[in-house]
Each structure stands twice: as C-alpha cells, then as structure tokens.
Structure 1
C-alpha cells in the first residue's frame, strides 16, 4: 500500500524540521566550545614518498647508490621516502653540501644540496632550491646507470 500525498508531506516536513533543529543545535554547540579543534587541519603534511620525477627503477638505483656509498636508505623499493631522504641528507651534509637538518623532508635545503651534488657531475644547475624541470631531468639522467646490479 502506497502512502498518500498527505502522509508523504507530513513525513517530509517532520524530516526537515528535525534536520533544521539538529543543525541549529550543532551550530549552537560549535560556538559554545572555544577550545574545540577545527574539523579540518590547517597543518601541512609532508609527502610520504617524493621521487622527484624518478620512476621506480631509477629511484631504486638512487637508493642503491646511497647504500653503496655508505648511506643506508632502508628498503630498496623504488619509493624515496623519509629513510631514503635522510640517507641523502646525511651524504650531502658529509660532503659539505649543506642539506640542513637530517629529517627526511625534501625541502629547499635538500633540493639545493641535491643540485650542488648533481653539479659535481657537470649538470650546470642553478642552485635555487626548486625541483624544477632541469633538476628533475638531471636527477633522472644521473640515475640512468643501474647501481643495483
């Protein structure tokens, strides 16, 4: 048996009134709690993996290069995560390339250190801390050789 128009209208109005009352109640509590945390975080999160344009095979080669030169990047998986970048930062700092804090974050100092490192091999990059097309192309080219063999 189908409900008639009057029944559907009454149910719809009841639902609308209930939603409105709930919305007003929720709005009232949001203003009443000054210490409440926002629903959306304003914090910037760091990417878990940042391959800087490398595919998995070339990222593995970079990890093997780090490992073979005495800097442990963790698992050789082609995913340049925190451990890989910490290893790179340690290497860069040991070479005097000023990567800054060893935190695994691929920030301006890490990019500048990578650019300085790649320039040791005559890539001629501007050391500007921006991982632009030229930096990514040089990083790609540097990892052409398979250091994992």
Structure 2
C-alpha cells in the first residue's frame, strides 16, 4: 500500500510541476523553445551492412584487392564486403555487361543475378539465374574468391 502512495505522490508532483511551469511561462510571457529537430535522413544513419555471402575474411580481402587492382573502389581492404565493396562489385558487373541495376551497394536479387551470370561463364555455376544466393551461387563465389586468394597470397 505504501508503494501505491509514493507512486501516486510522485505522479501528482510531476503533474503539479508541469502545471506550475506552464503558469510561469504564461505569466512572464517568456516561452521556452524546444531544441531543434535533427534533419538527418535514414540513409545517413543507417549502419553499413556487411554481406560476404559465405566468404571468409581472407577471401573477402582478396576479392576487395582484385577489384581495387582493376580500378574499382571497394573502400578499405578489411575482409568485410560492405556497401563500398558491393558498389565496386556492381560496377565491375555492369562493365562486364551482366548487371543493369543501380550502383547502390545493396546485395539484392539483381546483384545476385549478376553474380550468377558472371559465375556461369567463369566459375562453374550451373544453377538458375534466379537472384537467390543459394548453395551453388555461394560455391561459385567462393571459387572466384579462392582464385583471388591464390593471386594475392591472402
């Protein structure tokens, strides 16, 4: 019962304070402005997602290195395929003629289809061009990454 009393007293005190503050503002004619609302957009605060599609850090570093060597900017060679790395990969796919989507760094169905198209002619992918990063797609991607590891010694 004492808890109910204190809870009721606290809530009443907070309400009384709010009413008193409002009365003081009204009496003095001075209003207190709320702090400005930030205009940061969702894209500015969204964390950079990483999607290695089953590659190890070592394999992903080699893929990043390979793309940098060919003039694409994957960002840091850190073994984590984030937005910058995928933008570089998408641009390489576009230059190969297997990707027509936006260069946005998002690993969506169109990016996966481009990976599948490229892997069919070079890395032994035999599955459908369906935009799903299944076992066959990931295995072909790993074969490419292993090739890159062999080239650069990662």
Q: TM-score scaled to structure 1, two decimals? A: 0.69
Q: For the structure 1 residues 18 and 118, does the alpha-carbon distance in structure 2 shift closer, same or farther, using more than 3 Å as the test?
A: farther
Q: For the structure 1 residues 20 and 135, does the alpha-carbon distance in structure 2 shift closer, same or farther, using more than 3 Å as the test?
A: farther
1:51 partnered with 2:27: no
In the alignment, is the contact (CA less than 8 A) between 2:59 and 2:145 conserved in 1? yes
- Deviation per CA, 1:26-56: give whole Å up to 9, x if none: xxxxxxxxxxxxxxx9xxx676111111110
Deviation at 1:66, TM superposition (A): 1.2
Match of 1:128 among 123, 130, 150: 130
State the SS of the aligned residue for 2:152.
Answer: coil
Bigger share in helix? 2
Could you say which residue in structure 1 is the equivalent of 2:20? Answer: none
Q: For the structure 1 residues 126 and 19, does the alpha-carbon distance in structure 2 shift closer, same or farther, using more than 3 Å as the test?
A: farther
Instruction: Provide structure 1 residue ranges, at least 5 long, that are not aligned to the other structure.
Output: 1-8, 23-40
Compute the RMSD of aligned alpha carbons: 2.4
Q: For the structure 1 residues 17 and 127, does the alpha-carbon distance in structure 2 shift closer, same or farther, using more than 3 Å as the test?
A: same
Could you say which residue in structure 1 is the equivalent of 2:152? Answer: 148
Tell me, in whole angstroms, the C-alpha distance in 2 between the residues paired with 1:129 and 1:18. 61
Q: Mapping of 1:17-56 within 5 angstroms?
A: 17=8, 48-56=49-57
Tell me, in whole angstroms, the C-alpha distance in 2 between the residues paired with 1:20 and 1:134. 61
State the SS of the aligned residue for 1:109.
Answer: helix
Q: TM-score scaled to structure 2, two decimals? A: 0.67
Instruction: Provide structure 2 residue ranges, at least 5 long, that are not aligned to the other structure.
Output: 15-41
